[in-house]
Amino acid sequence: MNGSLAANAALLDELAQGLVQQQHCEVAVCVPAPYLAQVQAIKASSAGLLGLEIGGQDLSAHVSGAYTGETSAAMLKEFGCRYVVVGHSERRQYHLESDELVANKTRAALVAGLTPIVCVGETLAEREAGRTEEVVKRQLAAVIHLNGHCISEIVVAYEPVWAIGTGKTASPEQAQAVHAVLRAQLKAASNNPTHVKILYGGSMNAANAASLLSQADIDGGLIGGAALKAQDFLTIISAA
């Protein structure tokens, strides 16, 4: 829940200048719903942002109806979204989103032609109890169970809850170990497992991006606070 009309314009202007030189990886910004129209308009008017994709930060599991305050997949599509974040740890923690709800939101995105970025991750207590693998596999299994026929169309993001906004980061080796577990789980569930990108989302920043992205099963990053600073974001993009 960041941004303002002025801050968004400034960020996108700086990104446009830097992205002209960065055409070797996929880049998207996931925008708070009130600002989707602004970002769509800025993208349309800027040659430097032609390769930039837009995403939503959440969506409803429902198509439409009496769900005041919710945003549907169709609404996101109308504002040029290609992606949508589903099951972010903050949604699971503060809004009590269950594995089942995350799976249903994933289905709603897929049906509408959006690519869901499905987030999984463990808390500090779960990691210290040795339950990391159990937790992330359970969370992903719910999504696979409901969407197995098109699981190759999703993106997965591993975001250890203990490393989000805390300044702590999983070591490249810790992150790689969990990514490998998720890759194996996807491989068992999909006919096209190599197609599924797995992103790391635990406080990736300009300083640690290169070492994290060098790991075999880390395909990219789900960037939080570092993406609000254009130069830091561009450094991460360059590392990718």
**Domain containing residue 110: CATH number:** 3.20.20.70
pLDDT in tens, 19-31: 876 668 999 999 9
Q: What is residue 7's predicted lDDT score, i.e. its pLDDT?
A: 98
**Cβ contact 196:155 at 8 Å:** yes
Any catalytic annotation for residue 179?
no
Whole-number Å distance between alpha carbons of 81 and 36: 8
Cα separation values, 42 from 36, 47, 52, 138, 208, Å = 10, 10, 11, 40, 30
Q: What is residue 192's predicted lDDT score, i.e. its pLDDT?
A: 64
Query: 163: pLDDT confidence band, cut at 50, 70 and 90?
Result: confident
The answer to whether the annotation marks 51 as part of a ligand binding site is no
Mean confidence (pLDDT) of the chain: 94
Q: What is residue 90's predicted lDDT score, i.e. its pLDDT?
A: 94
pLDDT in tens, 68-86: 999 999 999 999 999 999 9
Which segments of the chain does DSSP mark as H helices, in order? 5-19, 36-45, 73-78, 89-94, 99-112, 124-128, 132-147, 172-189, 209-213, 230-239
pTM here is 0.95
Residue 164 has pLDDT above 90, yes or no: no
Whole-number Å distance between alpha carbons of 213 and 172: 8
**Cβ contact 141:182 at 8 Å:** no
**Cβ contact 200:231 at 8 Å:** no
Domain limits for position 225? 5-239
Q: Domain count for the chain, please give it.
A: 1
Of the candidates 90, 97, 153, 159, the residue annotated as catalytic is: 159
Residue 231 identity = Q
Query: 147: pLDDT confidence band, cut at 50, 70 and 90?
Result: very high
The answer to whether the annotation marks 165 as part of a ligand binding site is yes
Residue 112 has pLDDT above 60, yes or no: yes
Q: What is residue 23's predicted lDDT score, i.e. its pLDDT?
A: 65
Any catalytic annotation for residue 62?
no
Q: What is residue 24's predicted lDDT score, i.e. its pLDDT?
A: 83
The answer to whether the annotation marks 80 as part of a ligand binding site is no
The answer to whether the annotation marks 203 as part of a ligand binding site is yes
Of the candidates 78, 88, 90, 100, the residue annotated as catalytic is: 88
- Report, as an integer, the average pLDDT of 88-110: 97
Tokens of residue 73, six digits? 């997949």
For residue 214, the 8-state DSSP code is: T
Tokens of residue 50, six digits? 């032609």
- Report, as an integer, the average pLDDT of 137-165: 93
